[in-house]
Amino acid sequence: MSTRDTIPGIPRRPPHVVIEGVTPVVDGGRHPAKRTQGDTLVVEADLFKDGHDRIDGRVRVRPPEGRVRTLPLAYHFDPDRWEARVALDAIGRWSFRIEAWPDHWRTWRDELRKRVDADQEEDVAAELPEAALMLRKAAEAQGRSAPGLLEAASALEDDAVPAMERARRVLGPDYEDLVVGPIDPEELACSDDYEVVVDRPLARFASWYELFPRSQAPDGRHGSFRDVARRLPELAELGFDVVYLPPIHPIGHSHRKGRNNDPVCQPGDPGSPWAIGSEEGGHTAVHPELGTLEDFEHLVREAGEHGLEIALDYALQCSPDHPWVRKHPDWFRVRRDGSIRHAENPPKKYQDIVPLHFWCDDREALWQACVEVLFFWIERGVRIFRVDNPHTKPLAFWEWALRVVQDRHPDVIFFSEAFTRPKRMKGLAKLGFTQSYTYFTWKNTAWELREYLTELTTTEMAEYFRPNFFANTPDILHAYLQHGGRPAFRVRLLLAATLSPSYGIYSGFELAENEPVRPGSEEYLDSEKYQIKPRDWDAAGNLKPEIRLLNHLRRDHPALQRLTNLIFLDTTNEQLLGYWKSAPGDDLVVVANLDPFGPQEGMVRLPLGGLDLPVDRPYRVRDLMSGEVYLWRGEWNYVRLDPAERAGHLLEIVREEIP
C-alpha cells in the first residue's frame, strides 16, 4: 500500500520546544492574575525538548503603556523549570508570553569543548565549518543587531590557524553570548498571552472604616457630609486609609422600612439607604439631608488632605420612586398586567426595592446607564466602589462593566460584597473584582481559621481573590461577638488586622456594640440600616487605642502588608492560634487567645531555621502592643494569655545579640 498521497499534512511550523505549566495563569488564561504596583511578578514555565540540546527562553512583557519588554528566562532549581522576574512599575492590564527555542550555539560549544578535552582533533576540525555556517545563518536572521557574527565565522574557517587553536579561541568567554535568541525564527515556540491586572497598592493593603453619614452629627439630628468631614481627623489619626459610606442617594418613600426592619415606617423614619431613588433623583443624586453634590466633592477633597479615601456603595437596585422606574419601566420586571415584580425570594416581598431586569429588551441602554453612574462618581473624585450584592446581577454584566471602567481608570477599586457559595464568590473575583468580602466573620475557631486562610493563601485563589477581612458589617454581628463581648472584639480585631493586609470595621465595632435584634440573629438591634444612631466615640472601654496601635504597626511592618506570607505555627492548645508573617527584614509572630472567657496557656513552636534563630542559646521577642520583652529558647516556648489583659501577642523577633 502506498500511503504517500493520503497521509495528512505534516505540520508546517511545529514547535521544537514544549512550553507548559506557565504561572501565574488563572483557569488556563481565561482570567487575569492580580498583582499590585511595585510587586515583582515571578513568571515561570516548564520548557523542554527532545534530545540533549540546550534550550533558551525569554518572557515578552507588554505593560499597559509603552514598549514591550523582553527578559531572559533563567533555569530554576526544579528540573525543566524556568523563571523571570518582572518589575511591575505601572498600574493597568499587563500581558506576558513565554518564548523558547533550541540554543544551537551553546549546544555546539558544549560538545566542542568535550571533543577538545578528549583531543579528538579530526572531529574538531570537521566541526568548525559547521559553526561558521551557523553564525552566518544567525547573522542573516538577526541583521544589523548581530555585530561580529560574520567576523567570527571567518575566523573559524581560517585554515592558517590550527583547528585546535581556533577551537580553543571559540570556547573563550568572548564567544559565549555571540548568538542571542533563535537562529532560525521558525524554531521559536510561543505560549499564549496571559494577562495580569496590576492595581495600585491600596488594593492590597488598606485599613477600612465604614460609617453612615447620617449618624455622624454629634447632636442626634440627621448628619451630613459636613459632619463626616469633621470626623476625618480622628479617623486619619486612628490610621485608617479608606472611609466607606453606604449609599448617599435620595431614599424612596414607597413601602419605606421602619426601625428594626419594620414593614411599616413611622413618620420621621429615615428608611434604608439601599432603597435608592426618589423624586429627588437616583444613583447620581445626593440625599438632600446629607448636603449637596458640592458638599460631597468637598468631603472627597478633605479626605484626601487627611490621607484618606472615600469609598462609595454601588447598589444596582431602585426604590419604586427612582426616576428610572417612571422613565424606563421596561428596565424592570414588569408583568403582562403592568405590575412590577419586586425583589424576589417568594413568598417574601421586599416592596421597598425593585430589582433591575438586566436581560430586558432594552438591555444595552440599561447596562450603559449603570456604567455611567460609575463614571459620574469617578468624575467627582471617587476611586473605590463597594459593590452591593454583585451575585444577584449577571456575571457577564460585571465582566463588561468593570473592564470598561478600569480600561479608562485603572486606579479604580471594586470591592465585591457577595456572601454566597464559594464558587460564585470566586467567580466574581475572577471576572474582575479587585477585592472581596470573605467568610472571615464566620471563622472563629483555630481550625476554621487555619483551613480558610490556607485556602486563601496557598491555592490558586491567591492569584485572583483578594480578601478584605471586615470584622463586622451592618448585616453581620456574629454570635462570637454577641457572647464574647469586649475580649471577643479585641481578638477579632487582632486577627483581622494581622491575618489580612486589607481589613475593616463598621462603626460601632470600636464600642463593642453587640446586641442582636433577637437571640439567634446576626442583625443588630436598632440597626443603623433603618435609623439614625448617634454615638459617643470616646465612651469608656472603647477600642480606639488598640485600633490606632494596630493600624500604625500595619503601616510600619511590611510583613503585615502581604497575604501569602502566612505560616501557621503549631501550638499545644487549640484555643491558641499562632502564625508567622514574614517579609524581608521583618518577621512577626502572632499568638492569639481565641477564648474570650478566660486565660489560656500552652506552648507555641517557632521554626528556628526559617526565622534564622539560634538553636543553642536564648533569643528575645518583643510584644509590639505592650512593649514587653520575653526571653525565649529553642523551638517550643510557653505563652499564657489572659483576655482581661490582652487578646494576644504580636511579637517581633529582636535581632540584636543578647549581651
- What's the half-sphere exposure (Cβ side, CA atoms, 13 Å) at 420? 16
The answer to whether 121 is a known catalytic residue is no
Q: Rounded distance, CA 248 to CA 490, Å? A: 30
Instruction: List Cβ neighbours of 366 (8 Å cut-off, separation of 6 or more).
Output: 328, 331, 356, 357, 358, 360
Nearer to its own copies, 359 or 597 (CB): 359
3-state helix, strand and coil shares in percent for the chain, rounded to the nearest 5: 35, 25, 40
Instruction: Pull the grid cell for residue 513.
Output: 456594640
The residues, any chain, with a CB within 8 Å of residue 539's CB and separated by 6 or more, are 511
Segment near its own copies (CB under 8 A), from 245-253, 393-401, 435-443, 558-566?
393-401
Q: How far apart are CA 596 and CA 242, in angstroms?
A: 29
Q: Residue 484: what are its φ and ψ, rounded to 5°?
A: -85, -15
Q: Does 3 bind its own copies (CB under 8 A)?
A: yes
Q: Does 120 bind its own copies (CB under 8 A)?
A: yes
Which one-letter DSSP state was computed for residue 392?
A: G
Give the interface size with its own copies as a residue count (CB under 8 A). 70
For its own copies, the binding residue among 117, 177, 515, 656 (CB under 8 A) is 117
| 447: phi then psi, degrees, rounded to nearest 5 | -70, -35
* Spatial distance between the Cα atoms of 240 and 509, rounded to a whole number of angstroms: 14
Catalytic choice (417, 463, 595, 652): 417
**Nearer to its own copies by C-beta: 111 or 195?**
111
Nearer Cβ to its own copies (219/364):
364
How far apart are alpha carbons 507 and 490 in whole angstroms? 15
Q: Is residue 67 within the footprint of its own copies (CB under 8 A)?
A: no
User: Pairing relation of β-strands 435-436 and 413-417?
Assistant: parallel
In Å, what is the CA distance from 14 to each residue of 103, 185, 187? Answer: 17, 12, 8
State in angstroms the smallest separation of the CB of 256 from its own copies: 21
Q: How far is CA 200 from the centre of its chain?
A: 10
Q: Is 130 in the site for its own copies (CB under 8 A)?
A: yes
Q: Specify the residue, 462 or 569, whose C-beta has the smaller distance to its own copies.
A: 462
Q: Which of 207, 203, 297 is nearest to 248 (CA)?
A: 297
Told to check if 114 binds its own copies by CB under 8 A, we report yes
Q: Is 16 in the site for its own copies (CB under 8 A)?
A: yes
Q: Site mask, its own copies, residues 84-113, x = CB under 8 A?
A: ---------------------------x--
461-473 burial by CB neighbour count: b if 16+ within 10 A, else e?
bbbbbbbbbbbbb
3-state class (DSSP) for residue 581 = strand
* Among the residue ranges 171-179, 344-352, 469-477, 524-532, the one whose residues contact its own copies (CB under 8 A): 344-352
Candidate residues 72, 129, 329, 614; the one interacting with its own copies per rule CB under 8 A: 129
Least distance to its own copies, CB of residue 415, Å: 18
Nearest alpha carbon to residue 131 among 117, 147, 146, 110: 110
Per the DSSP assignment, residues forming a β-bridge with 197 are: 34, 93
Q: Which is nearer to its own copies, 144 or 423 (CB)?
A: 423
> Per rule CB under 8 A, is residue 381 in the interface with its own copies?
no
- Nearest distance from C-beta of residue 404 to its own copies, angstroms: 6
Among 359, 447, 597, 638, binds its own copies (CB under 8 A): 359
Which of 65, 336, 536, 609 forms a contact with its own copies (CB under 8 A)?
336
Which residues between 395 and 454 bind its own copies (CB under 8 A)?
Answer: 395-397, 399-400, 404, 407, 421-424, 427
For the question of residue 417 being annotated catalytic, the response is: yes
Kindly tell me the sign of the dihedral angle through the C-alpha atoms of 271, 390, 321, 350.
negative
Assess 28 for contact with its own copies (CB under 8 A).
yes
Of 82-90, 165-173, 360-368, 527-535, the segment contacting its own copies by CB under 8 A is: 360-368
Instruction: Confirm or reject binding of residue 18 to its own copies (CB under 8 A).
Output: yes
What CA–CA distance (Å, rounded) separates 291 from 300? 13
Binding piece for its own copies, criterion CB under 8 A, among 64-72, 204-212, 342-350, 556-564: 342-350
Are residues 231 and 246 in contact, defined by beta-carbon separation less than 8 angstroms?
no
Question: Which of 159, 177, 219, 337 is the binder for its own copies (CB under 8 A)?
Answer: 337
| Residues 6+ positions from 490 with CB-CB distance below 8 Å | 543, 546, 643, 646, 647
Q: Which stretch binds its own copies (CB under 8 A): 57-65, 121-129, 248-256, 282-290?
A: 121-129
What residues are labeled active site? Answer: 388, 417
Binding site for its own copies (CB under 8 A): 1, 3-4, 7-8, 10-11, 14-16, 18, 20-21, 27-29, 46, 48-52, 79-80, 111, 114-115, 117-118, 120, 123, 126-127, 129-130, 133, 335-337, 339, 344-347, 359, 363-364, 367-368, 371-372, 375, 379, 390-397, 399-400, 404, 407, 421-424, 427
